[in-house]
Amino acid sequence: MPTTVPGARGEGGPPRRGRARSLNVAAIAAADRFFLFVVHAAVGLFVFVVGLLFVELVRQSWPAIQAFGFKFLWTSQWNPVTQQFGALPLIYGTVVSSAIAIVLAGVVGVLAAAYLAEFAPGWIARPLGFAIELLAAVPSVVFGLWGLFVLAPFVRTILGPFLQHTLGFLPIFQGPISGVGLLTAGLVLALMILPTVTAISREVIVAIGTDLREASMSLGATKWETVARVVLPASRIGIFGAIVLGLGRALGETIATTMVIGNRPEIAASLFAPSYTLASVIANEFTEANGALYVSALVELGLLLFVVSFIVNGAARLLLWIVMREKK
Protein backbone atom coordinates (compact mmCIF):
# COMPACT_ATOMS: atom_id res chain seq x y z
CA MET A 1 0.00 0.00 0.00
CA PRO A 2 1.55 3.28 -1.03
CA THR A 3 2.25 5.70 1.72
CA THR A 4 2.17 9.29 0.67
CA VAL A 5 4.14 12.06 2.23
CA PRO A 6 2.11 14.87 3.81
CA GLY A 7 1.15 17.53 1.23
CA ALA A 8 4.45 19.34 0.99
CA ARG A 9 6.41 20.57 -1.99
CA GLY A 10 3.28 21.99 -3.55
CA GLU A 11 1.35 18.78 -4.09
CA GLY A 12 -2.30 19.63 -4.12
CA GLY A 13 -5.09 18.37 -1.92
CA PRO A 14 -5.08 16.28 1.24
CA PRO A 15 -3.22 12.99 0.63
CA ARG A 16 -4.92 9.65 0.60
CA ARG A 17 -4.25 8.01 3.90
CA GLY A 18 -5.51 4.52 3.55
CA ARG A 19 -8.25 2.58 5.19
CA ALA A 20 -7.82 4.05 8.62
CA ARG A 21 -9.65 7.06 7.29
CA SER A 22 -12.63 5.36 5.74
CA LEU A 23 -15.11 6.05 8.50
CA ASN A 24 -18.62 7.14 8.23
CA VAL A 25 -18.29 10.38 10.11
CA ALA A 26 -21.98 11.14 9.84
CA ALA A 27 -22.92 7.81 11.39
CA ILE A 28 -20.46 8.35 14.21
CA ALA A 29 -21.84 11.78 14.91
CA ALA A 30 -25.36 10.37 14.91
CA ALA A 31 -24.33 7.60 17.29
CA ASP A 32 -22.77 10.19 19.57
CA ARG A 33 -25.93 12.26 19.58
CA PHE A 34 -27.97 9.15 20.34
CA PHE A 35 -25.64 8.23 23.19
CA LEU A 36 -25.94 11.67 24.74
CA PHE A 37 -29.69 11.47 24.31
CA VAL A 38 -29.88 8.11 26.08
CA VAL A 39 -27.74 9.40 28.94
CA HIS A 40 -29.90 12.46 29.36
CA ALA A 41 -33.04 10.36 29.10
CA ALA A 42 -31.87 8.13 31.94
CA VAL A 43 -31.14 11.10 34.15
CA GLY A 44 -34.42 12.71 33.22
CA LEU A 45 -36.28 9.52 34.08
CA PHE A 46 -34.54 9.38 37.44
CA VAL A 47 -35.44 12.97 38.29
CA PHE A 48 -38.99 12.41 37.11
CA VAL A 49 -39.53 9.32 39.24
CA VAL A 50 -38.21 10.96 42.38
CA GLY A 51 -40.46 13.94 41.80
CA LEU A 52 -43.37 11.63 41.08
CA LEU A 53 -42.81 9.91 44.42
CA PHE A 54 -43.50 13.08 46.33
CA VAL A 55 -46.43 13.99 44.14
CA GLU A 56 -48.00 10.56 44.52
CA LEU A 57 -47.71 10.57 48.28
CA VAL A 58 -49.36 13.96 48.48
CA ARG A 59 -52.06 12.97 46.04
CA GLN A 60 -52.96 9.79 47.89
CA SER A 61 -52.98 11.40 51.29
CA TRP A 62 -55.05 14.32 50.12
CA PRO A 63 -58.42 12.97 51.35
CA ALA A 64 -57.03 12.56 54.84
CA ILE A 65 -55.34 15.93 54.72
CA GLN A 66 -58.61 17.49 53.75
CA ALA A 67 -60.56 15.60 56.39
CA PHE A 68 -58.30 16.22 59.36
CA GLY A 69 -56.04 19.09 58.45
CA PHE A 70 -53.24 19.82 60.87
CA LYS A 71 -55.24 18.42 63.76
CA PHE A 72 -53.93 15.11 62.47
CA LEU A 73 -50.64 15.80 64.12
CA TRP A 74 -51.91 16.32 67.63
CA THR A 75 -55.04 14.21 67.83
CA SER A 76 -54.34 11.31 70.11
CA GLN A 77 -56.96 8.92 68.81
CA TRP A 78 -55.92 6.29 66.30
CA ASN A 79 -59.09 4.32 65.89
CA PRO A 80 -59.82 2.68 62.55
CA VAL A 81 -63.18 1.51 63.76
CA THR A 82 -64.51 4.95 64.42
CA GLN A 83 -62.48 6.40 61.55
CA GLN A 84 -60.73 8.68 63.97
CA PHE A 85 -57.17 9.09 62.85
CA GLY A 86 -54.88 11.10 65.01
CA ALA A 87 -51.18 10.63 64.72
CA LEU A 88 -50.06 11.83 68.14
CA PRO A 89 -49.50 8.42 69.79
CA LEU A 90 -47.60 7.33 66.71
CA ILE A 91 -45.46 10.44 66.72
CA TYR A 92 -44.83 9.88 70.41
CA GLY A 93 -43.71 6.30 69.87
CA THR A 94 -41.53 7.24 66.95
CA VAL A 95 -39.89 10.12 68.74
CA VAL A 96 -39.24 8.32 72.01
CA SER A 97 -37.85 5.16 70.48
CA SER A 98 -35.64 7.21 68.20
CA ALA A 99 -34.55 9.40 71.09
CA ILE A 100 -33.43 6.37 73.07
CA ALA A 101 -31.62 5.15 69.98
CA ILE A 102 -29.69 8.34 69.32
CA VAL A 103 -28.73 8.84 72.94
CA LEU A 104 -27.29 5.33 73.18
CA ALA A 105 -25.86 5.17 69.69
CA GLY A 106 -24.57 8.71 69.95
CA VAL A 107 -22.51 8.08 73.05
CA VAL A 108 -21.29 4.62 72.11
CA GLY A 109 -20.84 5.47 68.45
CA VAL A 110 -18.82 8.63 68.95
CA LEU A 111 -16.57 6.98 71.51
CA ALA A 112 -16.17 4.00 69.22
CA ALA A 113 -15.30 6.32 66.36
CA ALA A 114 -12.75 8.05 68.58
CA TYR A 115 -11.20 4.71 69.34
CA LEU A 116 -11.02 3.67 65.71
CA ALA A 117 -9.70 7.00 64.56
CA GLU A 118 -7.31 7.85 67.35
CA PHE A 119 -6.39 5.02 69.65
CA ALA A 120 -6.61 1.79 67.76
CA PRO A 121 -3.58 0.45 65.93
CA GLY A 122 -4.19 -0.40 62.29
CA TRP A 123 -4.41 -4.15 62.79
CA ILE A 124 -7.27 -3.67 65.23
CA ALA A 125 -8.96 -0.75 63.56
CA ARG A 126 -9.46 -2.43 60.21
CA PRO A 127 -11.24 -5.62 61.29
CA LEU A 128 -13.13 -3.83 64.03
CA GLY A 129 -14.28 -1.15 61.60
CA PHE A 130 -15.24 -3.83 59.14
CA ALA A 131 -17.26 -5.67 61.79
CA ILE A 132 -19.18 -2.52 62.64
CA GLU A 133 -19.84 -1.91 58.95
CA LEU A 134 -21.11 -5.45 58.61
CA LEU A 135 -23.59 -4.73 61.36
CA ALA A 136 -25.13 -2.22 58.97
CA ALA A 137 -25.58 -4.94 56.39
CA VAL A 138 -27.77 -7.10 58.62
CA PRO A 139 -31.34 -6.98 57.28
CA SER A 140 -33.84 -5.31 59.56
CA VAL A 141 -36.06 -8.36 59.73
CA VAL A 142 -33.13 -10.27 61.24
CA PHE A 143 -32.61 -7.49 63.77
CA GLY A 144 -36.29 -7.76 64.58
CA LEU A 145 -36.13 -11.50 64.96
CA TRP A 146 -33.17 -11.28 67.28
CA GLY A 147 -34.78 -8.43 69.15
CA LEU A 148 -37.98 -10.38 69.63
CA PHE A 149 -36.49 -13.68 70.76
CA VAL A 150 -33.25 -12.63 72.43
CA LEU A 151 -33.38 -9.01 73.48
CA ALA A 152 -37.02 -8.89 74.59
CA PRO A 153 -36.65 -11.80 77.02
CA PHE A 154 -33.45 -10.19 78.24
CA VAL A 155 -35.28 -6.96 78.93
CA ARG A 156 -38.11 -8.80 80.56
CA THR A 157 -36.00 -10.96 82.83
CA ILE A 158 -32.82 -9.04 83.52
CA LEU A 159 -32.54 -5.49 82.29
CA GLY A 160 -36.08 -4.40 83.08
CA PRO A 161 -36.19 -5.60 86.66
CA PHE A 162 -32.71 -4.18 87.20
CA LEU A 163 -33.74 -0.74 85.99
CA GLN A 164 -36.94 -0.87 87.95
CA HIS A 165 -35.06 -1.90 91.05
CA THR A 166 -32.47 0.83 90.85
CA LEU A 167 -34.27 3.67 89.08
CA GLY A 168 -37.87 2.74 89.70
CA PHE A 169 -38.65 6.11 91.24
CA LEU A 170 -38.55 7.54 87.75
CA PRO A 171 -41.89 7.19 85.98
CA ILE A 172 -40.17 6.02 82.84
CA PHE A 173 -39.11 2.85 84.56
CA GLN A 174 -42.34 2.00 86.25
CA GLY A 175 -45.11 -0.30 85.25
CA PRO A 176 -45.30 -3.88 83.96
CA ILE A 177 -42.43 -5.25 81.95
CA SER A 178 -43.51 -7.47 79.10
CA GLY A 179 -40.28 -7.40 77.17
CA VAL A 180 -41.61 -5.60 74.13
CA GLY A 181 -42.02 -1.89 74.25
CA LEU A 182 -40.29 1.43 73.78
CA LEU A 183 -37.10 0.45 75.56
CA THR A 184 -36.54 -2.70 73.55
CA ALA A 185 -37.34 -0.88 70.35
CA GLY A 186 -34.94 1.87 71.30
CA LEU A 187 -32.20 -0.66 72.00
CA VAL A 188 -32.67 -2.41 68.67
CA LEU A 189 -32.74 0.90 66.82
CA ALA A 190 -29.58 1.98 68.63
CA LEU A 191 -27.77 -1.07 67.32
CA MET A 192 -29.11 -0.49 63.85
CA ILE A 193 -27.92 3.09 63.62
CA LEU A 194 -24.65 2.50 65.47
CA PRO A 195 -22.68 1.75 62.29
CA THR A 196 -23.85 4.96 60.66
CA VAL A 197 -22.98 7.13 63.62
CA THR A 198 -19.63 5.42 64.07
CA ALA A 199 -18.58 5.49 60.44
CA ILE A 200 -19.47 9.10 59.77
CA SER A 201 -18.07 10.33 63.08
CA ARG A 202 -14.89 8.51 62.29
CA GLU A 203 -14.59 10.24 58.93
CA VAL A 204 -15.16 13.60 60.56
CA ILE A 205 -12.64 12.96 63.31
CA VAL A 206 -10.02 11.80 60.85
CA ALA A 207 -10.58 14.80 58.62
CA ILE A 208 -10.47 17.36 61.41
CA GLY A 209 -8.12 15.79 63.87
CA THR A 210 -4.80 15.67 62.07
CA ASP A 211 -3.33 19.11 62.65
CA LEU A 212 -4.87 19.51 66.05
CA ARG A 213 -3.70 16.13 67.24
CA GLU A 214 -0.08 16.87 66.49
CA ALA A 215 -0.19 20.30 68.03
CA SER A 216 -1.78 18.98 71.19
CA MET A 217 0.54 16.04 71.58
CA SER A 218 3.57 18.17 71.05
CA LEU A 219 2.45 20.30 73.96
CA GLY A 220 2.66 17.28 76.21
CA ALA A 221 -1.00 16.33 76.46
CA THR A 222 -1.84 12.67 76.87
CA LYS A 223 -3.67 10.82 74.14
CA TRP A 224 -6.92 10.91 76.03
CA GLU A 225 -6.64 14.61 76.78
CA THR A 226 -5.92 15.30 73.14
CA VAL A 227 -8.97 13.38 72.06
CA ALA A 228 -11.38 14.50 74.73
CA ARG A 229 -10.41 18.13 74.98
CA VAL A 230 -9.15 18.99 71.53
CA VAL A 231 -10.14 16.63 68.74
CA LEU A 232 -13.69 15.77 69.75
CA PRO A 233 -14.74 19.31 70.56
CA ALA A 234 -13.30 20.46 67.25
CA SER A 235 -15.30 17.79 65.46
CA ARG A 236 -18.52 18.40 67.29
CA ILE A 237 -20.44 19.91 64.41
CA GLY A 238 -19.64 16.99 62.16
CA ILE A 239 -20.37 14.53 64.93
CA PHE A 240 -23.68 16.19 65.48
CA GLY A 241 -24.33 15.75 61.79
CA ALA A 242 -23.51 12.06 62.08
CA ILE A 243 -25.94 11.64 64.94
CA VAL A 244 -28.67 13.49 63.07
CA LEU A 245 -28.08 11.19 60.12
CA GLY A 246 -28.53 8.26 62.47
CA LEU A 247 -31.73 9.84 63.69
CA GLY A 248 -32.99 9.95 60.14
CA ARG A 249 -32.40 6.22 59.85
CA ALA A 250 -34.10 5.49 63.14
CA LEU A 251 -37.21 7.49 62.31
CA GLY A 252 -37.90 5.52 59.16
CA GLU A 253 -37.09 2.05 60.43
CA THR A 254 -40.11 -0.15 60.09
CA ILE A 255 -39.79 -3.88 60.38
CA ALA A 256 -37.47 -4.29 63.32
CA THR A 257 -39.45 -1.75 65.33
CA THR A 258 -42.75 -3.40 64.50
CA MET A 259 -41.52 -6.68 65.83
CA VAL A 260 -40.47 -5.40 69.23
CA ILE A 261 -42.57 -2.37 70.06
CA GLY A 262 -45.86 -3.98 71.01
CA ASN A 263 -48.02 -2.22 68.46
CA ARG A 264 -50.37 -0.37 70.78
CA PRO A 265 -51.27 3.21 69.85
CA GLU A 266 -51.18 4.65 73.32
CA ILE A 267 -49.13 7.27 75.03
CA ALA A 268 -47.72 6.02 78.31
CA ALA A 269 -45.01 7.38 80.53
CA SER A 270 -43.16 4.13 81.00
CA LEU A 271 -40.45 2.99 78.64
CA PHE A 272 -41.54 -0.57 79.28
CA ALA A 273 -44.97 0.09 77.85
CA PRO A 274 -45.87 -1.05 74.38
CA SER A 275 -46.15 1.66 71.79
CA TYR A 276 -46.54 2.25 68.08
CA THR A 277 -44.57 4.11 65.46
CA LEU A 278 -45.57 5.86 62.28
CA ALA A 279 -43.85 3.27 60.15
CA SER A 280 -45.19 0.32 62.14
CA VAL A 281 -48.77 1.27 61.80
CA ILE A 282 -48.43 1.54 58.04
CA ALA A 283 -46.77 -1.86 57.93
CA ASN A 284 -49.36 -3.52 60.11
CA GLU A 285 -52.57 -2.01 58.89
CA PHE A 286 -52.15 -1.01 55.28
CA THR A 287 -53.12 -4.24 53.61
CA GLU A 288 -56.20 -4.58 55.74
CA ALA A 289 -57.26 -0.99 55.62
CA ASN A 290 -60.82 -0.69 54.42
CA GLY A 291 -62.19 2.55 53.25
CA ALA A 292 -60.54 5.31 51.32
CA LEU A 293 -60.12 7.53 54.37
CA TYR A 294 -58.26 4.81 56.27
CA VAL A 295 -55.90 4.20 53.38
CA SER A 296 -55.44 7.88 52.85
CA ALA A 297 -54.62 8.42 56.51
CA LEU A 298 -51.98 5.74 56.33
CA VAL A 299 -50.45 7.27 53.25
CA GLU A 300 -50.46 10.59 55.03
CA LEU A 301 -48.32 8.96 57.69
CA GLY A 302 -46.00 7.89 54.91
CA LEU A 303 -45.90 11.46 53.65
CA LEU A 304 -45.12 12.63 57.15
CA LEU A 305 -42.24 10.18 57.29
CA PHE A 306 -41.04 11.39 53.93
CA VAL A 307 -41.10 15.03 54.96
CA VAL A 308 -39.49 14.43 58.34
CA SER A 309 -36.72 12.27 56.90
CA PHE A 310 -36.18 14.85 54.18
CA ILE A 311 -35.73 17.61 56.74
CA VAL A 312 -33.62 15.56 59.12
CA ASN A 313 -31.37 14.09 56.44
CA GLY A 314 -31.09 17.43 54.72
CA ALA A 315 -30.01 19.09 57.93
CA ALA A 316 -27.49 16.34 58.62
CA ARG A 317 -25.97 16.53 55.17
CA LEU A 318 -25.79 20.28 55.35
CA LEU A 319 -23.88 20.09 58.61
CA LEU A 320 -21.52 17.49 57.26
CA TRP A 321 -21.02 19.41 54.05
CA ILE A 322 -20.09 22.54 55.95
CA VAL A 323 -17.63 20.67 58.12
CA MET A 324 -16.00 18.55 55.46
CA ARG A 325 -15.80 21.27 52.86
CA GLU A 326 -13.43 23.30 54.95
CA LYS A 327 -11.13 20.37 55.20
CA LYS A 328 -10.85 19.60 51.51
Q: Residue 164 or residue 231: which is nearer to another protein going by CB?
A: 231
DSSP E strand boundaries for 218-265: none
Which of 95, 206, 212, 228 lies at the binding interface for another protein (CB under 8 A)? 228
Q: Which stretch binds another protein (CB under 8 A): 75-83, 194-202, 206-214, 264-272?
A: 194-202
Alpha carbons 120 and 123: distance in angstroms, whole number: 8
Burial of 154 (0-12, 13-18, 19+ CB in 10 A): middle
9 interacts with another protein by CB under 8 A: yes
Instruction: Name which position in 2, 5, 123, 169 contacts another protein (CB under 8 A).
Output: 5
- Per CB under 8 A, the list member of 225, 267, 293, 324 interacting with another protein is 225
How many C-beta neighbours within 10 Å does residue 50 have?
Answer: 10
CB of 164 to another protein, least distance (A): 23
- Dist CA 215 CA 68 (whole Å): 59
**Interatomic CA distance for residues 33 and 39, integer angstroms:** 10
Q: Does 37 bind another protein (CB under 8 A)?
A: no
Asked whether 311 and 288 are in contact (CB, 8 A), the reply is no
Contact 303, 58 (CB under 8 A): yes
- Which one of the spans 9-17, 95-103, 167-175, 235-243 is the region binding another protein (CB under 8 A)? 9-17
- CB of 181 within 8 A of CB of 156? no
Q: Identify residues 147-176 at the interface with another protein (CB under 8 A).
A: 148-150
Choice from 66, 77, 134, 176 touching another protein (CB under 8 A): 134
Give the H or E element holding residue 167.
helix 160-167
Instruction: Choose, by CB under 8 A, the member of 69, 287, 325, 326 that binds another protein.
Output: 287
- Does 60 bind another protein (CB under 8 A)? Our answer is yes
**In the complex, minimum distance from the CB of residue 152 to another protein, in angstroms, rounded to a whole number:** 11
Q: How far apart are the C-alpha atoms of 76 and 89, rounded to whole Å?
A: 6
Counts for the chain of helices (H) and strands (E), in that order: 14, 2
Among 305, 274, 300, smallest CA distance to 93 is for: 274
Could you say which of 181, 209, 241, 248 contacts another protein (CB under 8 A)?
Answer: 248
Binding to another protein by residue 219, rule CB under 8 A? no
- Is residue 193 at the binding interface for another protein, with CB under 8 A as the rule? no
Q: Which is nearer to another protein, 174 or 253 (CB)?
A: 253
Residues ≥6 apart with Cβ < 8 Å to 92: 267, 275
144 CB neighbour count, 10 Å cutoff: 23
If one asks whether residue 111 binds another protein (CB under 8 A), the answer comes out as: yes
**Could you say whether residue 297 binds another protein (CB under 8 A)?**
no
Check residue 11 for interaction with another protein (CB under 8 A).
yes
Instruction: Please report how close the Cβ of residue 131 comes to another protein at its closest, in angstroms.
Output: 4
Q: Which stretch binds another protein (CB under 8 A): 83-91, 155-163, 167-175, 309-317?
A: 309-317
How far separated are the first and last CA of the chain, in Å rounded?
56
